[in-house]
Amino acid sequence: MFIMPRLQGEAIMMLLRHSTYYLLARGVPGLVNVAALALFTRLLAPDEFGRYALVLAGVGLANVVVFQWLRLVMIRFFQANRKNMESFLAGILGLFLTLAVAVTGSGVLLGLLWPDPVWQRLLVLAVLLLFAQAWFELNLSIVQVKMMPGWYGKLLGSKAMLSLVIGGTLAWFGVGAAAPIIGLIVAHSGAFVLFALFFWRGISPRWPNNEALREQLRYGLPLTVTFALAWVVSGSDRLLIGWLIDEHAVGVYAAAYDLSFQGLTLLLTIINTAAYPLALNV
């Protein structure tokens, strides 16, 4: 009779404790990201910041459509595959590399066909950023579902600091729109090497068996549509402004939008990050 209320109380206490951990794990990097945003708006011209914002918007769309479902599969099926974790991670790695090869071909073709040489270089960087960001978020999902808020904070914190230092330095030396993009590529990759590489030691890419793949696709692909529609609401504005007006207007709009949006969404993101793995373990 008293077991269920006690379990509910323990779950609530764990949620509060993990929310506090994630407040630090996401809050401190969030403040660093706001500082980086303020720095880039001062060091980059509006049209350069506009190109940077357009690259982030395009990478965000590609990430949602191509890789987001894989992250959802990681969170959903990680605990269910505790007894055959090596096989599960090998299948995830195999799927990621397959998708990466397909995206590389599309990115190279788009870069060759694009008439503007500035955007040709930015498209190459955009493809690299897409891979680095998608892989980093996949590893964030591992530490989230393993309920390791300390490691979660290390990943986000190191990524935020590396992005600020490297991107800010390159922007100071006049690299332009490519500066924060290169900073993000190095930051995502460096944070993974420092704090998540050990998850994949001894793991070789492997195609998952047909039954597991069907189950993963049935779960992940419908949610991809949902997240893609959410991106249309939150991210398509920059592409529309760039298409209808110009890159300068995108830079002015994105700077004001991002400064307010990051602060408003931080608290809800913390609660969701803490609660979701607890719900899967109930």
The string of pLDDT tens digits covering residues 197-234 is 999 999 999 999 999 999 999 999 998 888 888 888 77
Residues in Cβ contact with 152 at an 8 Å cutoff, skipping those fewer than 6 apart: 21, 22, 25, 26, 140, 143, 144, 273
pLDDT of 189 higher than 90: yes
Residue 119 placed within a domain: yes
Residue 14 vs residues 3, 23, 103, 272: alpha-carbon distances, Å: 16, 14, 40, 13
Reported pTM? 0.88
Distance CA 102, CA 65 (A): 13
Residue 120 placed within a domain: yes
Both structure tokens of 97:
């590399």
Structural domain span for residue 105: 10-281
- Let me know if 214 is exposed, middle or buried by CB neighbors in 10 A (0-12, 13-18, 19+): exposed
The DSSP element (H or E) to which 192 belongs, if any, is: helix 178-195
Neighbour tally for 270: CB within 10 Å? 21
Give the pLDDT confidence of 119-169 residue by residue, as tens digits: 999 999 999 999 999 999 999 999 989 988 889 889 999 999 999 999 999
Distance CA 32, CA 161 (A): 7
Residues in Cβ contact with 261 at an 8 Å cutoff, skipping those fewer than 6 apart: none
Residue 206 placed within a domain: yes
Residue 5 placed within a domain: no
Answer for the pair 164, 190: CB distance below 8 angstroms, yes or no: no
pLDDT of 2 higher than 50: no
Residue 214 placed within a domain: yes
Residue 85 placed within a domain: yes
Distance CA 181, CA 111 (A): 16
Q: Tell me, what's the pLDDT at 279?
A: 59
The residue assigned the tokens 């998952």 is 208
Write the DSSP string, 143-167. Answer: HHHTT-HHHHHHHHHHHHHHHHHHH
The structural domain count of the chain equals 1
Distance CA 53, CA 253 (A): 10
Residue 4 placed within a domain: no
